[in-house]
Amino acid sequence: MSDPIQLTLTFEHRTSLSGEDFLIAPCNREAVQWLDRWQSWPSPVLVLYGPAGCGKTHLTHVFLAATGGRDITDEFSHDDDPSAYLSQSGAFVVEGIEALLADGSDEKLFHLYNVARELDAKILFTAESPPSRWETKLPDLASRFKAATAIGIGPPEDELIGALLVKHFSDRQLKVDEDVIPYVLARMERSFEAARDVVSKADALALSKHRNITIPLMRQVFKT
């Protein structure tokens, strides 16, 4: 049995709003580079798009930690005008644009974009598809979305998911057999959330059974 495993794969780290490290890899490197230069975006809006679990939400936390910005997604469910918050900070996040458009927030988004341009505020939008596929009733809003810089994020590569598993196990100071990571990689969904979830379940099961993290234990995790 090995000691608690250490993160030996070489990835650059960024700290998120929650204090958790975000690992930079080829699938998200371009997005991180754009977030780093948020003050010089060519338009008020940057769009990060990609499949669920690719790390968009984690990247918004990195962005908010770096900028001291605010997530105003929930404000769209209220009667208040979300653009009223743009005078309080220079950087903002709005997640799940397709859902907001489906809920009829077109006018609010259009006004938000225009006020952001007037105040030189920056807004990070997230979505699962590029702006060209978004459906809106407002042609002017569609043209503004299409003019925004849009960066796609692919699913995490095996090397990145492996590093995340190692990191999550190490963060919990769990003892892990060397063959556990390859075993888990061969059976799990490729997403940030899945990596966090499988380690959490393994931790709970190991604690309840007073066992270390082994392949037999992980076999039980995947059966639950």
Q: What is the pLDDT of residue 15?
A: 61
* Residues 26-152, CATH architecture: 3-Layer(aba) Sandwich (3.40)
The pairing of beta strand 12-15 with beta strand 21-24: antiparallel
**CATH 1.10.8 boundaries in the chain:** 156-223
Give me the CATH code for the 156-223 domain, please. 1.10.8
> For the segment 151-200, what is each residue's pLDDT rounded down to a tens digit?
999 888 888 888 889 888 888 888 888 899 999 999 999 888 898 899 99
Q: What is the arithmetic mean of pLDDT over 31-39?
A: 94
> For the segment 206-216, what is each residue's pLDDT rounded down to a tens digit?
999 988 899 99
**CATH 3.40.50.300 boundaries in the chain:** 26-152
At which residue do the structure tokens 């899945």 appear? Answer: 194
> Is the pTM above the cut of 0.85?
no
Residue 140 banded pLDDT, cuts 50, 70, 90: very high
Which residues in 80-96 are b (16+ Cβ under 10 Å) and which e?
eebbebbeeebbbbbbb
Residue 11 banded pLDDT, cuts 50, 70, 90: low
